[in-house]
Structure 1
Amino acid sequence: MSRVPTYVTASITAAGVLGSAYCAYRLYQNYQDKPIKLPETWTKVGVLKTLNAYPVKSCAPVLLNRAECTAMGLRDGWLRDRVLMMVDDQNNFITARTFPEMLAIQPSVKSSVLTLKHPNMEDVSINLAEVVATQKPKISKVWGDPVPVYDCGWEPSEWISRLIDRTTQKYRLVYYASEKCRNIRAGASFKVYKFTSKDTGALPDETSYNLINEASVDDLNTRLTGSHVTPCNFRPNFVLAGAKPYDEDNWKFVKIGENVFEVIKPCMRCVLTTIDPETGVRDANTEPLTTLRKYRLAETARERKAVGNSPRMGIQMSLRSGSGLVSLNDPIYVA
């Protein structure tokens, strides 16, 4: 796709926050938006060690030094978290759960131009501004839920199809076609945890932000035999250094810089964590899921009915303050 003149990107602003203390998880509230009181008292637990955005769902992350936090996720100009995905010929999303070679696709964004790289492929570039200007939205699906998207054209489609199964037209790259968080039907998880219409981001599975506590990953590694994982296995936006293992189970709010996030739910983990993010090779013993299931299953019977034997690791969060900047080494506070 040819280049067009650079489009003006959104400016980045910072915002402060006010509020008062809160307590444990609340139950699902019919997907209604209600006023949320924010904490006044915070406890420092560590610092932000790693900041990741995943422009293309199920592909490699882009490591950032600084980004804007928005209701829909991390943003740095045209680089935004999980605003692109790959779909099949039925317009259903595909992921590295089925196609682990997707993990080796490295996206980058310069101005409005997205470039995809893979060790076994030539590079391909797509001008997202041109896509937005020339395409009409159509409907794709994420977990069965319809989402509006722009088709990114023949060139990335041919590139992705050759990479995945050597065809030329089966798979396509699409770009989220809304400035509002996507709608999610009230499925099993939504009946247990509290979500609002501002929590679901563009194309993530559930919420706009995910945080991993490095100490929890370190503790997990002491329990593994013959396997080793890193925070990368869990594809977080934020990696926290300095806290105690599993302290995150007790947090209701998290503040990074001046950005306040509400913890919506623990992150229930799937088979994607068993695929090496560097090599795309699946763990023969289905680790770390096998070990996590021994001590990290959902705590209540109601939760277990909703999520089955998916174990907890990390927390799913949504932004509750105005848009603001976040930077590496920012202090992290909790309430």
Structure 2
Amino acid sequence: MLQQAPYATAAVTAGVLGSAYFAYHIYQNRKKLPTEWTHVGTLENIYSYPVKSCGGIAMETAMCTTLGLRDGWLRDRVLMVVDQKGNFVTARNYPELLLVQPSVRNSILTLKHRDMEPVYVNLAEVVALQSPKTAVVWGVTVPVLDCGWEVSEWFSRLLDLSAINFRLVYYATQKPRKGNMFYKFTKNDTGALPDETSYHIINASSVSDLNARLRSCQVTHHTFRPNFVVQGPQPYDEDRWRFLKIGDNVFEVIKPCLSYRQISDPEERLASGPSPRMGLQLALRSGHGLVSLHDHVSAA
């Protein structure tokens, strides 16, 4: 299913439409967390994407942290591929990245691709032995650790048949990077290397509704690369959610969806881009806690 994603994502972009006014209003009232909740569904899937733009890993349980989901050395979007200038590259330009399937056992990252031999990276050694350098993601300079020649040569052969054009790097701080100030993110909302916020949720029935409108292709929730998939709400019920509670973890909706399904505010369109989008960008508002499959999902 993940192997279909490069072609589907060319037609439908992951993310979420936002309302600038609504986002700012929420920003002004962040400390006023809800006291009443309405059950809306159950948590059907949990995914972590350790390497930005590469395949996801299905999880049964995970810890929610400021930087995103974590289970030991498996952390969400803490690695990325960069070019020779240190600029990040993604599947938007190199869709073959989506066919790279990672796995993490203890501190060993394994990367597989149907046309390549597996390659292995000991993340503990990277952290212990490498000195921080800098890379750039979405115009923001971030500290990173180089993951070594072998895996960089592997990605270079995969992406353009070269030997040295790309490097794999590891996020080198526990502090979130700077975010898109148009949406008034707090300093703790933007995670390590995701496009916008540390968490992204998809309503399964909204994806089904989208498929009913598509003619030339079909998509799955994998197309949108969510951390969470919720089962139960009606299509686009998420448009009305301001906060979500998954298990005991409280999240705030930073960029809520709008109805179907283009952005109209010109300034917001400039900040978010022109594509129709799906899902909700979330920021953690509670302490660190576990999420597990089939947790209750409530909204306010």
Same fold, TM-score > 0.5, yes or no: yes
- CA 1:85–1:28: 2 relative to 1, 3 Å: farther
Alignment of 1:1-335 (within 5 A): 25-27=22-24, 36-184=31-179, 186=180, 190-191=181-182, 193-266=183-256, 295-298=260-263, 300=265, 302-335=267-300
TM-score, normalising length from structure 2? 0.89
Instruction: List alignment gaps of at least 5 residues for structure 1.
Output: 1-23, 269-291
Instruction: List alignment gaps of at least 5 residues for structure 2.
Output: 1-20
Greater than 6 Å deviation, 4+ residue runs: none
Q: Which of 48-57 and 223-232 deviates more?
A: 223-232
What is the aligned-residue RMSD (CA, Å)?
A: 2.0
Contact 2:239 2:257 in 1 (8 A): no
Larger Rg: 1
C-alpha deviation, 1:148, in angstroms: 0.4
Equivalent-residue separation in structure 1 for 2:156 and 2:23 (angstroms): 43
C-alpha deviation, 1:331, in angstroms: 0.8
Equivalent-residue separation in structure 1 for 2:197 and 2:257 (angstroms): 10
Q: What letter matches 2:97 in structure 1? A: M
Equivalent-residue separation in structure 1 for 2:103 and 2:213 (angstroms): 36
For the residue of structure 2 that corresponds to 1:86, the secondary structure is strand
Contact 1:89 1:171 in 2 (8 A): yes
- CA 1:116–1:41: 2 relative to 1, 3 Å: same
C-alpha deviation, 1:310, in angstroms: 2.3
Larger RCO, structures 1/2 (Cα 8 Å, 6+ apart): 2
Which whole-Å deviations, capped at 9, do the CAs of 1:1-41 have from their partners, x for residues lacking one?
xxxxxxxxxxxxxxxxxxxxxxx823289xx9986221110
Equivalent-residue separation in structure 2 for 1:166 and 1:244 (angstroms): 46
Aligned residues: 280
TM-score, normalising length from structure 1? 0.80
Q: What letter matches 2:24 in structure 1? A: L
The percent of aligned pairs where both chains have the same amino acid is: 59
Equivalent-residue separation in structure 2 for 1:80 and 1:325 (angstroms): 14
Equivalent-residue separation in structure 2 for 1:26 and 1:182 (angstroms): 20
Contact 1:28 1:194 in 2 (8 A): no
Equivalent-residue separation in structure 2 for 1:316 and 1:310 (angstroms): 16
Which whole-Å deviations, capped at 9, do the CAs of 1:54-82 have from their partners, x for residues lacking one?
00000000000000000110000000000
